[in-house]
Structures are given as structure tokens and as C-alpha cells.
């Protein structure tokens, strides 16, 4: 009996619906990286087990911030009820508790400085499984009837004992049937879940492509002046704004902006300002041509890469960054480990096009997961026509290791990024890839 109950418990756990994108349910947090007020942060929304219930929101900072308050506003898209609060971004943030009254679609509005982001998400609460009710109900009835049957049998009333035993058998059969067949029947979705077809009827995989336009405001930024990089997303089949981006590696979009020579490097996470519109503020100290690469992923689809370029005008500003100085406090800015020069080790030392190359980099103690991974390797072809993003999947240790097959011979610019307790470290380097020997 205990074994059966354990099995039932395991099945009930296994039947819990998988968490979809942008949903918060107890035990499944929503994590979204944002570049806001010049800071690189990850907003964490922890789920609730009930409604009305508490929704806990924290903002993790990945660089030194002294008292960066982030305004929070959670709004139910159904009834419009809004609750507000404030979170302080910190390496180990305090969580602000906001009360949600219902499940279903909500919006989280973040504001800091004069920037605002609106993140759509769903509050889900696990429903009691009807299957679990039947399993436990059936077993309970069986147990009661079996005891009844034994007692009745002991008092020598075979007819009634038989009826009770049959009832017990029915109870056990119901429980067993549900245990066996429930796995083939879709579990009820959590309360507040987005409508979805039954898994068996969903044959379509992958949504239409995103038609993306990236542009700066103003169209030609001045060196040293703040500008906005806008990403406008339109569905290639309907012409409507694309508003179904998943939190892919903990961000709606990962945008890497580099100067043509690679000395300027920013890895940022734009804010959703309206359906199909993302924005991030940047500034660049030197005039010249800049390249922007954006990675994003629609719901139930694969990842997509969008590329654009823009020109920064005007004379260079004194604060012009070089690729190897420490620029703490600036978003995604490159930095070296204090007082050390770290060079990645390549194997083979001269990579061959089309063959796997491993890249190792020693890391200090205290590396922490950023964007769901221990380390990130961003690769750009010299001319900007190739862009790659590789992950170190292992747990933080004394090094990060990446494997990548450079597609063609030539010169590549590369940056390894990882997060320590108080900053994001960026290590730039270049790779010269040779052609495989002709046979």
C-alpha cells in the first residue's frame, strides 16, 4: 500500500504541467535580465502557491550599484488592479512582496531613472489534480471497505462481506486505473495558464520569422552622447508587432554592440517599452561604424539573430573606452581582473576552420551564474558578418571552457564574459583561423 501511494505521489508530481515562458508559479521563478539606468540587473519574480497571495520580486545587480531603486508595478491585465512597490538592486537583493489577487495575465512595470520597461507574464497556481483525488479517494474507499469487509467477515455475514470486498476491489481498481492511464491523459493546466492545444494535436513547430529593424535615436549619435538603440519586431506573416518573445537565456533579447575594430563592446538587455518594441540606452566615445547583433527567440520557436550597423559621428571624447581598461559601473563594459592579464588558451593553438577548437580561461574564485550560465563566449567575424554565442555549461570553478568550430578561415574578435560577486568581467581576444590543409 505504501508503495502504491509513493507511486501515486511520483505520478502526481510528474504530471505537473511544464512551466512555459513568462510564467511564474510556485518553484518556478521568472528571471529577466535588463539594462536599466545604466546598470545590468536581473529581475526575479518568485511564484505564489495561492491567490490572493504574495508575489516576491527582487532585482539582482551584477555590478556595484549604490542604492539603485527600481519602481515596481504589477497590474492584472484582466481586471486592471495594480499594486506598486520598490526594489533595491543589490548583489543579494531583498525581495519586495506584492499581493496578487488573481491568476492569469499580468504586467510588471519597472522604472528606474527615466526609463521604463513593461514585462508581460502569467501568474499560475497549480490546481488540485482530479487524478490525485481519484487515486487517493479510491484507495481510501478501498481501505475503509476492506476493514469493513474483514469485520463483517469476522461476524460471519459472508454476503455483506463479499459486497464490501467487491467495493474495496472497485476502489483499488479505480486508483490503479487512474495511476496507469492518467499519464496518457493531459494534466489539467495550472490556474491562470495561457490557452494551449492538447499536446497531441499540436503539430506546428516554430512560428513565422521576425522582421526586425534596429536603429538608433538619433539616427546618427554623437560620440560621448547617450543614444537609444531601438529594436522593432514585426511578424513576417501577419505584419503585427511580435510580442511573444521568450525569456531566452534569461532575457527577451541579448544585444551585443561592437565597434568595427572591436575595441568597444557592450552586451546589453533591452527593455520592452511596448508590444514589439525594445529599447536600450548606450553611449560610445569614439566616432565610426558600429555593429549591433540581437539574439531573440519567439515562443515555441528557435532562436533568431538580427544584425544592423550604425555610425557614431563627431570628434572622439576623452572618455573613449579601450577594450582592456576596467570600466566598472558602465553596462557590459570590458574589464580585466585587477592587476592581471589573463589570456585564453586555445587548443589547437591555431584553430582550423570547421574543426572544434576549445578555449580555456582561468577565472578567479567566486564566479556566479549570469544569464543562466557560468560563462559566455561571444564571437564576431572581423567584418561583422558572422556572430556566435557559446556557453560554458558547467558549474562555476577555476576556469571556463568553450568548444566552438570557427566556420571559415580568417580573423575573429572574441570576448569571454563571466560574473563575479560584484562585476561582469569581459576578456577580449582575437583568433586567427586557418584553412584545413588541402588534400
Partner 1 sequence: MIKRWHAVAAAALVIAAVALYVVSRSTAAEPVNLTTTGSRYTATVLIADPAPGQVTVEIKVSKGDADTVALSAVMAEMGHSTPEISATMREPGRFVAVGELFPMSGVWELSIRLDGPAGEEQLAVKTLITE
> Binding marks (x or -) toward partner 1, 299..318, rule CB under 8 A?
xx------------------
Residue 254 interacting entry, from partner 1, Cu ion, none, C-beta within 5 to 8 Å by type = Cu ion
Between helices 2-14 and 158-181, what is the axis angle to 10°? 30
| Rounded (to 5) percent helix, strand, coil in the chain | 15, 45, 40
Interface with partner 1, residue 134, by CB under 8 A: yes
Least spacing, CB of residue 366 vs Cu ion, in Å: 21
Least spacing, CB of residue 30 vs partner 1, in Å: 18
Residues at the interface with Cu ion (CB under 5 A): 254
The distance of Cα 59 from the centroid of its chain, to the nearest Å, equals 14
Q: Which residues pair with 291 in a beta bridge?
A: 258, 309
Least spacing, CB of residue 23 vs partner 1, in Å: 13
Residue 236 interacting entry, from Cu ion, partner 1, none, C-beta within 5 to 8 Å by type = partner 1
Least spacing, CB of residue 78 vs partner 1, in Å: 5
Interface with partner 1, residue 235, by CB under 8 A: yes
DSSP per residue, 279-303: EEEEE-SS-EEEEEEEEEEBTTS-E
Q: Among 69, 85, 186, 372, which residue sits at the site for partner 1 (rule: CB under 8 A)?
A: 186
Residue 147 interacting entry, from Cu ion, partner 1, none, C-beta within 5 to 8 Å by type = none
CA separation, residue 363 to residues 245, 313, 333 (Å) = 32, 37, 18
Q: How far apart are CA 3 and CA 297, in angstroms?
A: 43
Cβ nearer to partner 1, comparing 67 with 80: 80
| DSSP summary character for residue 134 | H
Least spacing, CB of residue 236 vs partner 1, in Å: 7
- Locate the DSSP E strands across 4-103: 23-24, 30-36, 39-46, 53-61, 68-76, 82-89, 96-100
User: H or E segment at 165?
Assistant: helix 158-181
Interface with partner 1, residue 178, by CB under 8 A: yes
Interface with partner 1 by CB under 8 A: which residues? Answer: 76-80, 105, 130-131, 134, 159, 162-163, 165-167, 169-170, 173-174, 177-178, 181-182, 185-186, 188, 194-198, 201, 204, 207-208, 235-240, 244, 298-300
Amino acid at each position: 500500500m505504501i508503495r502504491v501511494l509513493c507511486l501515486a505521489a511520483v505520478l502526481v508530481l510528474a504530471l505537473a504541467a511544464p512551466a512555459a515562458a513568462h510564467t511564474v508559479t510556485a518553484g518556478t521563478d521568472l528571471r529577466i535580465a535588463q539594462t536599466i539606468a545604466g546598470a545590468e540587473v536581473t529581475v526575479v519574480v518568485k511564484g505564489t502557491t495561492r491567490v490572493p497571495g504574495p508575489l516576491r520580486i527582487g532585482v539582482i545587480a551584477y555590478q556595484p550599484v549604490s542604492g539603485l531603486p527600481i519602481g515596481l508595478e504589477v497590474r492584472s491585465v484582466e481586471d486592471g488592479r495594480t499594486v506598486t512597490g520598490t526594489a533595491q538592486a543589490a548583489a543579494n537583493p531583498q525581495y519586495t512582496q506584492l499581493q496578487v489577487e488573481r491568476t492569469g495575465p499580468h504586467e510588471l512595470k519597472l522604472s528606474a531613472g527615466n526609463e521604463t520597461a513593461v514585462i508581460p507574464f502569467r501568474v499560475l497556481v497549480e490546481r488540485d489534480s482530479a487524478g490525485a483525488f481519484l487515486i487517493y479517494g479510491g484507495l481510501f474507499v478501498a481501505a475503509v471497505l476492506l476493514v469493513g469487509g474483514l469485520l463483517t467477515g469476522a461476524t460471519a455475514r459472508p454476503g455483506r462481506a463479499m459486497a464490501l470486498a467487491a467495493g474495496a476491489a472497485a476502489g483499488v481498481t479505480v486508483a490503479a486505473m487512474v495511476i496507469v492511464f492518467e499519464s496518457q491523459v493531459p494534466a489539467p493546466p495550472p490556474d491562470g495558464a495561457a490557452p494551449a492545444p492538447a499536446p497531441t494535436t499540436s503539430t506546428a513547430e516554430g512560428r513565422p520569422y521576425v522582421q526586425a529593424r534596429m536603429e538608433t535615436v538619433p539616427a546618427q549619435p554623437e560620440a560621448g552622447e547617450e543614444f537609444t538603440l531601438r529594436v522593432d519586431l514585426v511578424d513576417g506573416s501577419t505584419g503585427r508587432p511580435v510580442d511573444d518573445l521568450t525569456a531566452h537565456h534569461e532575457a527577451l533579447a541579448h544585444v551585443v554592440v561592437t565597434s568595427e575594430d572591436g575595441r568597444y563592446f557592450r552586451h546589453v538587455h533591452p527593455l520592452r517599452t511596448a508590444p514589439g518594441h525594445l529599447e536600450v540606452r548606450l553611449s560610445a566615445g569614439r566616432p565610426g561604424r558600429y555593429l549591433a547583433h540581437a539574439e531573440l527567440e519567439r515562443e515555441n520557436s528557435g532562436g533568431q539573430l538580427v544584425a544592423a550597423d550604425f555610425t557614431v559621428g563627431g570628434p572622439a571624447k576623452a572618455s573613449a573606452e579601450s577594450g582592456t581598461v576596467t570600466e566598472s559601473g558602465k553596462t557590459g563594459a570590458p574589464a580585466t581582473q585587477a592587476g592581471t592579464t589573463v589570456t585564453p588558451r586555445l587548443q589547437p593553438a591555431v584553430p582550423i576552420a570547421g574543426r572544434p577548437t576549445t578555449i580555456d580561461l582561468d577565472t578567479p574564485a567566486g564566479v556566479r551564474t549570469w544569464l543562466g550560465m557560468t560563462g559566455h563566449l561571444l564571437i564576431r567575424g572581423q567584418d561583422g558578418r558572422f556572430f556566435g554565442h557559446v556557453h560554458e555549461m558547467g558549474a562555476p570553478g577555476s576556469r571556463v571552457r568553450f568548444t566552438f568550430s570557427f566556420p571559415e578561415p580568417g580573423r575573429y574578435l572574441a570576448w569571454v564574459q563571466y560574473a563575479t560577486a560584484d562585476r561582469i568581467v569581459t576578456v577580449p581576444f582575437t583568433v586567427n583561423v586557418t584553412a584545413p590543409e588541402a588534400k
